[in-house]
Amino acid sequence: MDKILITGGAGYIGSHTAVALVNAGYQPIIIDDFSNSNKSALNGLQQILGTDLPCYEGDCNDKKLMQQIFSDHELTGVIHFAANKAVGESTAFPLKYYKNNVGSLVVLLETMEEFGVKDLVFSSSCTVYGQPDELPVKETTPRKVAESPYGNTKKICEDILIDVVKSGASIRIISLRYFNPIGAHESSLIGELPLGVPANLVPFVTQTGIGLREKLTVHGNDYDTPDGTCIRDYIHVMDLADAHVKSIDYLQDKPETYYDLFNVGTGNGNTVLEVIQAFEKVSGKPLNYHIGPRRPGDVVKVWADTQKIEEKLGWKPNYSLEDALRDSWNWQLALAEK
């Protein structure tokens, strides 16, 4: 059974990808420092899978620990999620973001080379596009100057990967540029666990729906969109997890040195108000929200062109916006019972 290391494997996307990997016949190995995740995710994985996954607690910048993991397991590939990801925090603490996000990738690449592990799927982001000049966004759409140190780390990491491949190194890489992951596993045993006040829309919606937050602020309703609110491409986390599995599958028969990148979204944009209306429909609850001022730095509208990933990887999303919001709500309800 092929063993795949998942860095940040106890996090939101990492834990769901672990489930998808097991279902596809792989053995995931997890490393996580739990700085932006919770050990309860491991219990959820154990209940879903009926077995404990090997898990190392530590930092991907720790070269000795990384060497230990690669020595303990004959890995065939790596999916690299581990990164700090709060845009606002990155602006306040840029060096933390460069050290962790860029530094950990360098350590990982050095360790992969040392142990002869060839296949890597990298967690990138649609933030590299900024506010695109044309929609939908294609993989060939020019990257914009990053709005934050976080966004810049994703650009830098992509460039590092391209340079490594250009050097002729024996490595095969796919970068996945995600749009906006939402939803949870249908079991409600794992899901998104934001620390503190959620920075993303859907956890704030569900926390408001259940009464943890007094009300939701919609930041601006005077944008050039159908209802004046910002548009994003919301993708179910299990669809995103499946894209990682298909990427690992896809790399296995590729040339010794290889790089490609794919957008992962639904190909559709939804406004903030459409998300709220879909939540109210699936939950049966009116949401307490109000319209506030625009938020500086917000991209007005962005959604993916998914033709490339559909054609090359044979991947398509299976879940709708309502499916994702139903699963997010069920996860919030399950959290309230704990």
Assign 3-class secondary structure to the chain.
Answer: CCEEEEECCCCHHHHHHHHHHHHCCCEEEEEECCCCCCCHHHHHHHHHHCCCCCEEECCCCCHHHHHHHHHHCCEEEEEECCCCCCHHHHHHCHHHHHHHHHHHHHHHHHHHHHHCCCEEEEEEEHHHHCCCCCCCECCCCCCCCCCCHHHHHHHHHHHHHHHHHHCCCCCEEEEEEECEEECCCCCCCCCCCCCCCCCCHHHHHHHHHHCCCCCEEEECCCCCCCCCCCEECEEEHHHHHHHHHHHHHHHCCCCCCEEEEEEECCCCCEEHHHHHHHHHHHHCCCCCEEEECCCCCCCCECCECCHHHHHHHCCCCCCCHHHHHHHHHHHHHHHHHC
129 assigned to active site: no
- On whether the CB atoms of residues 81 and 12 are closer than 8 A, the answer is no
State the average pLDDT over residues 151-180: 97
Q: Percent of the chain scored above 90 by pLDDT?
A: 91
pLDDT at 88 over 90: no
pLDDT at 338 over 80: no
Per the confidence metrics, is the pTM higher than 0.95? yes
pLDDT at 160 over 90: yes
Residue of 56, 97, 129, 150 marked catalytic: 150
pLDDT value of position 68: 98
pLDDT value of position 199: 84
Give CB contacts under 8 A, 24+ apart, made by 128-133: 128/154, 128/155, 128/158, 128/177, 129/177, 129/302, 130/299, 131/299, 131/300, 131/302, 132/302
Q: Report pLDDT digits (tens) over 33-83.
A: 999 999 999 999 999 999 999 999 999 999 999 999 999 999 999 999 999
296 or 281: which leads in pLDDT: 281
Query: 60-76 burial, b if ≥16 CB within 10 A, otherwise e?
Result: bbbeebbeebbeebebb
pLDDT band at 295 (very low <50, low <70, confident <90, very high): confident
Domain boundaries, the chain: 3-182+234-265
pLDDT value of position 86: 85
pLDDT band at 101 (very low <50, low <70, confident <90, very high): very high
pLDDT band at 296 (very low <50, low <70, confident <90, very high): confident
* Domain 3-182+234-265 architecture: 3-Layer(aba) Sandwich (3.40)
Q: Which residues, in sequence order, are bridge partners of residue 73?
A: none
Mean pLDDT of the chain: 96
State the average pLDDT over residues 154-161: 98
